[in-house]
Structure 1
């Protein structure tokens, strides 16, 4: 079995409001020996177009993950029996300098994926997905994108700039990082400047499901569609917290009404068991706009769901932490 420390502190009497704030009290480690999954903070928000502050998202999510345990009751999986998981800390970024920050993010994520580790990034704004995908595609080639969001993020430019949180997935297609024919965008909603803003994703080759489409089809049907679309391709899973309704995620940069409840998002994530998820992120948590810290709390638990999906998939395939040393 892996010798990586487990999710609990060595002193079981230490209260959960004390100690260093790693994700779910996982061990902090920069070593990648025998590691399957690494939680990685990416505190970059220079790519925002409305409310700034998501650079503080990783710290807030970690703060509100302290009560998370290691057993997922719905999927029936002990994540640490299947996976070795660590908190890798934060990647370096340079606030205000997008291209340099992208280089640093790509290098940091690259070191993980080249070691066979599945990174789960905590943003930060959604522009961070582009350098993450650059690193992932270097190892796996063009990947399938499973994208939960209220926005398509496939605009060509915003205010004549090509690198911001509204453009990462157009750039990813242009750079050959994702296979749009195996990719899907889910939960899109909100007002538009014109119909072409929605159609631009379909023209790039993405399958697009609006929030209304999802509700009409039902959650179980949506999960079937995702599996059929992705097939056996390696998957980059990207979850913008504004997929949730502002009631459940007020702390985000570009909220849209008519979104999903937390339980609906969880049902959709649980339905991804079986997909070959090779990297993931959760982005756009903005603590300054988060009364009662509900957004950070929901984000932390959705990341736990992602880890559990990876663990349940490993179990389904018949190998776990003891077999996954790279």
Structure 2
């Protein structure tokens, strides 16, 4: 794998060093800050974005979460999808589009690569023929990740994956708060007689005691439903439901101040379905609903999670076959970067 090994003192020589490498010479990505070395993507000032193997943000790949504070992980399934398929290719396309990401967050001045050790640890080896077996594989894989203390940043895959991930997360941390950004509540009991699918994960999570229901908020819900109040069940559990209509024409920064107060200091999981955004901005998804959030509001939500005790995040339901420009995957990649910046211990200038 080609990546650029450098410290601040090497930046001026980086271009020459890269192009003078002998064939087969190994390169590793590293940074020295306050005496500690962290992984860092190579700068496009010196290494072309189109070169190399597409890991998330062009970070180094490693096989396990050992030694990492955070890890990008792909879960390439769409076996739980009820409408348009294709989300199994989401992690791959998000990685491709993530080559645009740079080191620093110009909006917030976050410097994640000076703060925490992060890498891409590849994909869960899913079973595309058996959804229940896939859930078992996801759960087992995430148990190993969270056991190390690493925070998983997941690229979906359809929203089914949130259920086995939260099984593993709650096993370590106990019931967690949930910030769920989505066009759909995903709290159905069954769909076509099946209890496992992308429309049911949070019903299963409640049944198994994985969520601290007084610390659950669902943002962006909208669309037609099967009952006059599609979100009655959510409210009955104690969830705060923020429908899309409540978000129109406004900044969501005030909402997120309220959400932070609701979440408190306990562990929190962030689950972001790309269909929360209006399909005019993010058409590459399986179950689009009009009149959704804007990308600006999506960024406000993620940035509003700064200061919370985030123990995991996901970005799901990117479907590249319906994403003809790549903008949906690009948006997903940027939201995942914002999630990285919002994690505990990240330095801000």
TM-score in same-fold range (> 0.5): yes
Gaps of 5+ in 1: 317-326
Change in CA separation of 1:217 and 1:77 when aligned onto 2, cut-off 3 Å:
closer
Q: Contact 2:215–2:262 (CA<8 Å) still a contact in 1? A: yes
1:252 pairs with 256, 262, 285, which one? 285
CA offset at residue 213 of structure 1? 1.6
Alignment partner, residue 5 of structure 1 = 39
Q: Is the counterpart of residue 159 in structure 1 residue 192 in structure 2?
A: yes
Q: Contact 2:114–2:347 (CA<8 Å) still a contact in 1? A: no
Q: Secondary structure at the match of 2:241?
A: strand
Q: Is the counterpart of residue 75 in structure 1 residue 108 in structure 2?
A: yes
CA offset at residue 60 of structure 1? 0.4
Q: Is the counterpart of residue 241 in structure 1 residue 274 in structure 2?
A: yes
Q: Is the counterpart of residue 16 in structure 1 residue 45 in structure 2?
A: no
Q: Contact 2:175–2:212 (CA<8 Å) still a contact in 1? A: yes
1:231 pairs with 246, 264, 275, which one? 264
Structure with more helix by fraction: 1
Taking the aligned partners of 1:26 and 1:237, their CA distance within structure 2 comes to 22
Taking the aligned partners of 1:54 and 1:212, their CA distance within structure 2 comes to 27
Over 6 Å off, 4+ runs:
none
Q: Contact 2:206–2:213 (CA<8 Å) still a contact in 1? A: yes
1:107 pairs with 140, 148, 171, which one? 140
Alignment partner, residue 72 of structure 2 = 39
Taking the aligned partners of 1:115 and 1:183, their CA distance within structure 2 comes to 26
Per-residue CA distance 1:1-39 (angstroms, 9 max, x = gap): 554432217x96331011100001000012434311100
How do 1:185-264 and structure 2 match up within 5 A? 185-215=218-248, 218-264=251-297
Taking the aligned partners of 1:146 and 1:307, their CA distance within structure 2 comes to 15
Taking the aligned partners of 1:149 and 1:2, their CA distance within structure 2 comes to 38
Q: Contact 1:40–1:89 (CA<8 Å) still a contact in 2? A: yes
Taking the aligned partners of 2:251 and 2:321, their CA distance within structure 1 comes to 34
1:282 pairs with 315, 330, 341, which one? 315
Change in CA separation of 1:2 and 1:70 when aligned onto 2, cut-off 3 Å:
same
Change in CA separation of 1:218 and 1:74 when aligned onto 2, cut-off 3 Å:
closer
Q: Is the counterpart of residue 175 in structure 1 residue 208 in structure 2?
A: yes
Alignment partner, residue 268 of structure 1 = 301
Larger Cα-atom Rg: 2
CA offset at residue 204 of structure 1? 2.0
TM-score (norm 2): 0.87
Q: Aligned-pair RMSD on alpha carbons?
A: 1.6
Gaps of 5+ in 2: 1-34
Taking the aligned partners of 1:5 and 1:240, their CA distance within structure 2 comes to 28
Aligned length, in residue pairs: 314
Q: Contact 2:115–2:347 (CA<8 Å) still a contact in 1? A: yes
Per-residue CA distance 1:123-144 (angstroms, 9 max, x = gap): 0000000000000001000000
1:62 pairs with 95, 102, 122, which one? 95
Taking the aligned partners of 1:216 and 1:252, their CA distance within structure 2 comes to 23
CA offset at residue 217 of structure 1? 6.7
Which is bigger in relative contact order (C-alpha 8 A, separation at least 6)? 1
Taking the aligned partners of 2:159 and 2:136, their CA distance within structure 1 comes to 16
